[in-house]
Structures are given as C-alpha cells and as structure tokens.
C-alpha cells in the first residue's frame, strides 16, 4: 500500500510546515558550517602543538642517559600519544588520506630533518599509528599516536537544540498571531446575520488586520442597510395597496348580485390577504429588536393552544416540562401561530409537542397528518412566496409566506426551523431553541 503525502489543508499547518522545514535546514547548515570550521581550527592547533611537542620530547630523550629515559617518558606522555623505548609493533603501511597520515606528515616535517622515521598503522577500532626513530646512541624510540580531534564542546549540541526549540516556539507564536485575525474574520462571516444585531469586529491591531476588520464592518453595515431598504419597500408597497383594495371592495358591494361579483370579491380577499402577509413578512425582519424576557414555556404554549380550542380547532399540547426560557415572546407567538395555522389549513388538526429542557436546548414540534411535502422540495418551502400546490390541497390556497415568516422570526430569536415528513403521512415542523433561550 502506497503512502501518499498530501499538502496540509489548513493555512496554519502549511505555515508550520514551511517554517519548521526552513528552521531545521537553517539549523543543520549552521551546525555543519560551525562543525567544519571548528574541526579545521582544532586540527590545525593540534598538529602545531604536536609538531612542537614531539620535537622537544625527542631532543630531551636524545640528550638523557639511557637509565633516566624511562622516568622521563612518563613526564612526556600526552593524552593522544606517548613514547615507548622499544621497536614499533607489527602493523600495515600507513594510509595517505586520513587524520593519521596528516599527523605523520607533521612528524616528518618536525623530525625528518634529523632522524629517520618509520611509520606503521596499527589495525583497530580507532585510528592508531606508530612512528619509530633512532636516537644518537642507536636506541629505538617509538612514538605511539592515537590521533583524534574534538571540534565541539559537549555542551554545544544542547545549546543548538535549545536554540532550535526557542525558534520553533517563536514560530508557533508568529503563526498564531497571523492566523488569529483570519479565524475571527471567518467566524464573523459564518455568524453574519443581517436580521440580528451586528457584532462589530475589533479594529485594533496591525494595519492589515485593522483594514480587514473595517472592511468587514462596512460590508456588514451595507448588507443590513440594503436588506432594511428592501423590507421597507415591500412594506410600503403592501401598505399602499390596501387603500385601493378597500375602495375596490366597497365598489363591489354596490354591484348587483351575480357570479362575477362573487368572483371579484374572492379575488379581492386573496389580494388583501397577500398584502397583509407581505407586510407581516417585511416586519418579521425586525423580530430581533423586541426585548427579551423569561417565560414559562408550558404556560405560554398552553395559552396558545387554549385560544385555538376556544375557537373550535383541534389543537393539542404534549410533553410539558416546566422549562423557563429567555426569548422574545411576540416573535415566538407569531412563529407558533403560523406553524399551527399551516397544520390546520392542510390537515384540520395540529399537535404541539415540547422536547428537551432549558439547559440542553428546547425543541417545539408542530405535527399534522396532512398530505406532507415531497422530499425534493422540502427545503424550498421556507422561501418567500414558494407554494407547493401539487402536494397540498389546492382549495386551501395560501400566499407562500407563512413558513418564510416563521423561518425569518426563528432566525431573529436565535433559533432554527426544520421540516420532515412523518411516517404514516403528515408533516413535522421543528422549532429548535438553544440552551438558556
């Protein structure tokens, strides 16, 4: 199974990846350059000291009596080399491309003018070679060398690692500072609701962030103003139409009784109803301006249902739970009236059901046993002036604004409206209110 590497999907992840790879590469190059420079410096210093020390030590041994030389070899011993008063060990010819060969060349340069040198390499896990010279009296002296260069101090890798961690921390902070304004802007756009009170973005911070915040606040204000103008226009047209409609109805009253008079009266009634619904829809956009208060949901819905029952309608209430919610009661009552009227219009009966509680969120279902709505247009019926006469009773008519007004008011009070067909026939419209509503 092949593993495919994908470019990260989020901006934060991409920035993290770019910065992290860049930091690691930069740190690796810094470490490599520093290591090489210190290696060369340490190697040059070591070879210089090695040449001077071996030349001095061989000169001292050459001038000492043979009996005193063993004692002096202990004094002349160093960490990487010492002096043996014997022949060299068996070995192999010295290679010419490693540190041992470079050290041997240094010995050749410092001692070769006065002494004959013989070099052999001693096989083993680490570099090891021996150089043999003969003193003036013919005695052999073997310089046993174990060359090594330590260009880095033991604490330096920890310092470099700490530096990398510090840069990663600064990168995390930089990415967070860069992403936070974008996250706030995305959240504000997602929650943008022209029907609710606009939430202004903070315009403080860097110039680019402040500019984006001001642009969003300006756009939000323009959208709200545009929507307000459209609703005012709709309300004005609907209101102005009521006067000529009233005059036409008065004139129709003076007409002789006939089938045409009845048809004209029915048409005028439908037009008047449509105009009233248009005014109601235009006003529903201002549902968020109503002051909120705490109400007992059971008592509120019980009063609503009793009003319907007093007028002879078959409306029932179930699932009482005593929830106390904070909402806008006039907007909530208009929502429920529209939903119940819609159920009564198409089914003749309606059932109101309460689910949930104030802490977890309340849902109010309005159920009927009418013809329901086709699944492919279920999400379209909440749009203004959308009518589904092919799935509802044609004789009932309707303006197509009842559910649209309910949806508009539900959004204004911070809720949501959803529709689904019931098993066995009928429709269930759910008004969902969040916790502490």
- Domain ranges within the chain, ordered by starting residue: 11-145, 194-285, 289-433
User: pLDDT tens digit string along 304-316?
Assistant: 999 989 888 999 9
Between β-strands 314-318 and 140-145, what pairing exists: parallel, antiparallel or unpaired?
A: unpaired
Provide the pLDDT for residue 334. Answer: 86
Q: Which residues of 232-250 are buried (b: 16+ CB within 10 A; e: fewer)?
A: eebbeebeebeeebeebee
Alpha-carbon distance 267 to 249, whole Å? Answer: 10
Look up residue 184 and give its two tokens.
């706030």
User: Looking at domain 194-285, which of 1.10.287.130, 3.40.50.720, 2.20.25.90, 3.90.950.10 is its CATH number?
Assistant: 1.10.287.130
- Please state, in angstroms and as integers, the Cα–Cα distance from residue 262 to each residue in 234, 248, 268, following that order: 29, 13, 10
- Asked if 341 and 349 touch (Cβ cutoff 8 Å), the reply is no
Q: What is the DSSP letter of 296?
A: E
Provide the pLDDT for residue 366. Answer: 92
Give the residue-averaged pLDDT of 56-71: 86
Provide the pLDDT for residue 4. Answer: 58
User: Is 11-145 CATH 3.30.450.300?
Assistant: yes
Q: Write out the H or E segment, with its range, that includes residue 261.
A: helix 259-284
User: pLDDT tens digit string along 337-386?
Assistant: 889 988 898 888 999 998 877 677 788 899 998 888 887 777 777 776 66
Alpha-carbon distance 41 to 151, whole Å? Answer: 8
Q: Write out the H or E segment, with its range, that includes residue 249.
A: helix 207-253
Q: Write out the H or E segment, with its range, that includes residue 231.
A: helix 207-253
Most confident of 39-53, 189-203, 279-293, 367-381: 367-381
pLDDT class of 391 with cuts at 50, 70, 90: very low
Give the residue-averaged pLDDT of 25-40: 81
Provide the pLDDT for residue 390. Answer: 45
User: pLDDT tens digit string along 399-410?
Assistant: 566 787 788 788
The residue written with tokens 């040198």 in the block is: 117
Alpha-carbon distance 261 to 279, whole Å? Answer: 27
- Phi/psi for 258 (5° steps) reads -165, 170
Look up residue 278 and give its two tokens.
């248009």
Alpha-carbon distance 134 to 142, whole Å? Answer: 9
Domains 11-145 and 194-285 in one fold? no
- Asked if 228 and 198 touch (Cβ cutoff 8 Å), the reply is no
Crossing angle for the helix pair 402-412 and 259-284, to the nearest 10 degrees: 10
Nearest residue to 119 via CA among 139, 136, 103: 103
Nearest residue to 143 via CA among 78, 230, 84, 55: 84
- Phi/psi for 393 (5° steps) reads -70, 125
Look up residue 147 and give its two tokens.
């060359």
Is 68 in a helix, a strand, or coil? coil
Walk across the sheet containing 349-357 and list its strands.
Answer: 314-318, 349-357, 361-367, 427-433, 415-421
| pLDDT over 80 (residue 142) | yes
Give the residue-averaged pLDDT of 55-71: 86
| pLDDT over 50 (residue 1) | no
| pLDDT over 50 (residue 88) | yes
Burial of 43: CB neighbours in 10 Å, binned 0-12, 13-18, 19+:
middle
pLDDT class of 393 with cuts at 50, 70, 90: very low
User: Is 289-433 CATH 3.30.565.10?
Assistant: yes
Look up residue 271 and give its two tokens.
């037009």
Most confident of 23-27, 90-94, 252-256, 366-370: 366-370
Q: Write out the H or E segment, with its range, that includes residue 416.
A: strand 415-421
């Amino acid at each position: 199974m092949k593993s495919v590497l994908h470019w990260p999907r989020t901006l934060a992840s991409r920035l993290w990846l770019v910065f992290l790879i860049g930091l690691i590469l930069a740190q690796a190059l810094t470490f490599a350059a520093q290591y090489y420079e210190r290696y060369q410096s340490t190697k040059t210093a070591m070879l210089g000291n090695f040449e001077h020390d071996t030349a001095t030590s061989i000169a001292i041994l050459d001038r000492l009596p043979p009996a005193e030389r063993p004692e002096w070899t202990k004094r002349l011993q160093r960490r990487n080399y010492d002096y043996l008063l014997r022949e060299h060990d068996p070995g192999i010819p010295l290679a010419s491309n490693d540190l041992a060969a470079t050290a041997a060349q240094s010995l050749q340069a410092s001692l070769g003018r006065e002494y004959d040198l013989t070099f052999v390499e001693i096989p083993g896990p680490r570099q090891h070679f021996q150089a043999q010279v003969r003193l003036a009296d013919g005695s052999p002296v073997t310089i046993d060398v174990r060359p090594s260069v330590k260009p880095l101090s033991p604490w330096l890798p920890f310092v470099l690692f700490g530096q990398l961690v510090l840069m990663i921390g600064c990168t995390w902070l930089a990415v967070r500072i860069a992403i936070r304004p974008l996250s706030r802007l995305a959240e504000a756009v997602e929650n943008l609701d022209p029907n609710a009170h606009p939430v202004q973005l903070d315009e403080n911070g860097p110039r680019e962030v402040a500019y984006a915040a001001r642009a969003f606040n300006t756009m939000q204000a323009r959208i709200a103003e545009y929507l307000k103008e459209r609703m005012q226009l709709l309300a004005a047209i609907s209101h102005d139409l009521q006067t000529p409609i009233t005059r036409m109805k008065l004139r129709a009253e003076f007409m002789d009784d006939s089938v045409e008079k009845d048809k004209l009266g029915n048409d005028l009634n439908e037009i008047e109803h449509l105009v009233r619904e248009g005014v109601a829809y235009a006003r529903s956009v201002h549902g968020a301006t109503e002051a909120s208060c705490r109400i007992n949901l059971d008592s509120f819905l019980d009063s609503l249902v009793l009003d319907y029952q007093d007028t002879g309608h078959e409306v029932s209430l179930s699932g009482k739970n005593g929830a106390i919610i904070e909402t806008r009661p006039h907007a909530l009552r208009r929502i429920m009236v529209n939903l119940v009227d819609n159920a009564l219009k198409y089914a003749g009966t309606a059932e109101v059901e309460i689910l949930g509680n104030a802490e977890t969120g309340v849902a109010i279902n309005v159920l009927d046993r009418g013809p329901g709505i086709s699944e492919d247009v279920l999400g379209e019926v909440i749009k203004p002036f959308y009518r589904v006469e092919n799935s509802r009773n044609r004789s009932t008519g309707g303006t197509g604004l009842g559910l649209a007004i309910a949806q508009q008011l539900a959004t204004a009070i911070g809720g949501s409206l959803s529709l689904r067909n019931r098993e066995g026939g009928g429709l269930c419209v759910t008004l969902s209110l969040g916790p502490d509503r």
